[in-house]
Amino acid sequence: MKISDLVARSGVPLATVKFYIREGMLAPGHPVGARRSEYDDTHLGRLQLIRALTAVAGVPLSRAKEVLSIIDDGNGDIYEILSRTIQALSPTDAEHPHEHHPHATWAITQLGKDYAASDESMAAYSQLDESLRAAEEAGLPIGAERLRLYGDQIMTIARAEVGGMPADPREAASYAALGTVIAEPVLASLRRLAHQNLAAGLDQG
Amino acid sequence: MKISDLVARSGVPLATVKFYIREGMLAPGHPVGARRSEYDDTHLGRLQLIRALTAVAGVPLSRAKEVLSIIDDGNGDIYEILSRTIQALSPTDAEHPHEHHPHATWAITQLGKDYAASDESMAAYSQLDESLRAAEEAGLPIGAERLRLYGDQIMTIARAEVGGMPADPREAASYAALGTVIAEPVLASLRRLAHQNLAAGLDQG
């Protein structure tokens, strides 16, 4: 397809498409003449991925580029791809990289063997620590029982998600990136709806 | 306690404490002389709530003020408090308030009676619609089976959370506000850890 068709089908403006090409985030078209390049479905898919990450999920451009380069590497086993993708998408603990994470360490002990492979180098580890500390400081500490309930329900969700992951490493990386950022707001909005539905039930009961 | 003790114990700078008082978010101290006011644990608790909402959860000041006024109203049944709090904390669909939400409507049908009290006036309803549409546009549509799994696990979580809600309406509002914003990052970081743990298991297996 021509670049104008790519623009029309993706909904991404021409200037933005050209910017992504200059930044190395999108491959240039295949030249088919002195003044024309041809684009295909790979370009379209890539544009959708970039838009999903940046416009929909609000991932900063620098992090989106990191994720795209993990996808383009396309080597490493699925574990490494998943780890690197989640790591690239996570807010980093840059200010205090060597800090201890007592809340997360306590939590991982409580959660037992399903979470035993968690380690302090994972960005999600310090995120968990930070959010548990915030809950405690706000006067709503999350106790062991509540935490185990969270851990069990979330593990059931994660098993279904990881089970659906494509075997091809490049597709797996793309799937992991989208799955991480796309499903989070689905789960968050379902939780808010669940609260409101339960409250409506209390109201009637 | 003196205002300097309030500053020391809350960790909130003096200028910020004064700003919250001017903005009506924090009650002034009880005057105990021409130049001194006395503060108590109510002030400290309120400061912790404001900090949890704004600094920890990143809620914009205007929305935090709305939540505080719901708490201060302290009337209405628990259903209304919960609904109003979640509504105030949710990004609103201000640009397209009357738009249809086909994805969310489909989802609510799939989710059955547990979610049947959901209606289009709820901010979480349009959030769900938006996030499902984003998943589809990103080429990772969330099907009925996955959605029902999400709905079931999240409802189990929500039941435990609503079950622990205080009976006093003002405390319930504060609990709902914190519960909504504080537990979301805990759940999100657990999900990322769960994915990494599962991938580590695949790696060994």
User: Given this model, what pLDDT does residue A169 score?
Assistant: 72
User: Given this model, what pLDDT does residue B205 score?
Assistant: 47
**Which of B56, B138, B150 shows the shortest C-beta gap to A178?**
B138
**pLDDT category of residue B74 using cuts at 50, 70 and 90:** low
Looking at residues A158-164, what average pLDDT do you find?
85
Tokens (6 digits) for A58:
């609000």
Looking at residues A6-21, what average pLDDT do you find?
93
Query: What angle do helix axes B41-51 and B61-73 make, rounded to 10 degrees?
Result: 140
Chain A residues with CB under 8 Å of B193 CB are 115, 118, 122, 124-125, 128
Matching residue, tokens 């910017």 = A19
Nearest chain B residue to A111 by CA distance is B190
Give the count of beta carbons closer than 10 Å to the beta carbon of residue B24. Answer: 12
Tell me how many degrees the CA angle B85-B154-B121 measures, rounded to the nearest 5.
Answer: 40
What's the number of CA atoms in the CB half-sphere (13 Å) around residue A26?
28
pLDDT one-digit tens code per residue, B10-29: 889 999 999 999 999 999 99
List the domain boundaries for chain A.
1-56, 60-204
**pLDDT category of residue A200 using cuts at 50, 70 and 90:** confident
Give the count of beta carbons closer than 10 Å to the beta carbon of residue B193. Answer: 30
Interface test with B, best of A67, A110, A119, A186 (most B CBs within 10 A): A186
User: Given this model, what pLDDT does residue A74 score?
Assistant: 67
Indicate the average pLDDT of chain A: 84
Q: Give yes or no for residue A196 having a pLDDT over 70.
A: yes
Q: Distance (Å) from the C-alpha of residue A7 to the closest C-alpha of chain B?
A: 15
All residues at 6 or more sequence positions from B166 whose CB lies less than 8 Å from its CB, including other chains: B172, B175
- CA–CA separation, B202 and A163 (whole Å): 10
User: Given this model, what pLDDT does residue A170 score?
Assistant: 73
Give percent above pLDDT 70 in chain B. Answer: 91
- CA–CA separation, B118 and B115 (whole Å): 6
All residues at 6 or more sequence positions from A40 whose CB lies less than 8 Å from its CB, including other chains: A1, A30
SS3 of residue A6 by DSSP? helix
Residue B147 · residue A189 · CB < 8 Å: no
pLDDT one-digit tens code per residue, A171-190: 777 777 777 778 888 998 89
Looking at residues B22-39, what average pLDDT do you find?
92
Cα separations in angstroms, B41 against A42, A193, B26, B35: 60, 33, 12, 21
Whether residues B138 and A49 touch (CB distance < 8 A) is answered with yes
Whether residues A156 and B149 touch (CB distance < 8 A) is answered with yes
Q: Distance (Å) from the C-alpha of residue B31 to the closest C-alpha of chain A?
A: 27
Interface test with A, best of B190, B202, B203, B204 (most A CBs within 10 A): B190
Phi, psi at A139, each rounded to 5° = 85, 15
Cα separations in angstroms, B83 against A190, A192, B118, B176, B204: 14, 9, 11, 9, 46
Looking at residues A110-123, what average pLDDT do you find?
89
Q: Which of A19-23, B114-118, B161-165, B167-171 has the lowest mean pLDDT?
A: B167-171
Tell me how many degrees the CA angle A93-A100-A115 measures, rounded to the nearest 5.
Answer: 85
Tokens (6 digits) for B174:
């504060």
Which segments of A60-204 does DSSP mark as H helices, in order? 61-73, 78-89, 102-111, 123-137, 144-163, 169-204
Nearest chain A residue to B83 by CA distance is A196
User: Given this model, what pLDDT does residue A88 score?
Assistant: 80
In sequence order, the β-bridge partners of residue B31 are B37
Tokens (6 digits) for A100:
């201890």
Chain A residues with CB under 8 Å of B176 CB are 195
Looking at residues A43-68, what average pLDDT do you find?
85
Assign a CATH topology to domain A1-56.
Answer: Multidrug-efflux Transporter Regulator; Chain: A; Domain 2 (1.10.1660)
Tokens (6 digits) for B92:
């609103």
Nearest chain A residue to B57 by CA distance is A134
User: Given this model, what pLDDT does residue A199 score?
Assistant: 77
Nearest chain B residue to A11 by CA distance is B137
Of A200 and B153, which is predicted with more confidence?
B153
**Which of B131, B135, B189 shows the shortest C-beta gap to A128?**
B189
User: Given this model, what pLDDT does residue B204 score?
Assistant: 55
Indicate the average pLDDT of chain B: 84
**Which of A90, A139, A192 shows the shortest C-beta gap to B48?**
A139
Looking at residues B169-174, what average pLDDT do you find?
75
Residue B86 · residue B180 · CB < 8 Å: yes
User: Given this model, what pLDDT does residue A205 score?
Assistant: 47
- CA–CA separation, B182 and A139 (whole Å): 11
The ipTM of this complex is 0.80
Give percent above pLDDT 90 in chain B. Answer: 36
Interface test with B, best of A9, A175, A196 (most B CBs within 10 A): A196
User: Given this model, what pLDDT does residue A156 score?
Assistant: 95
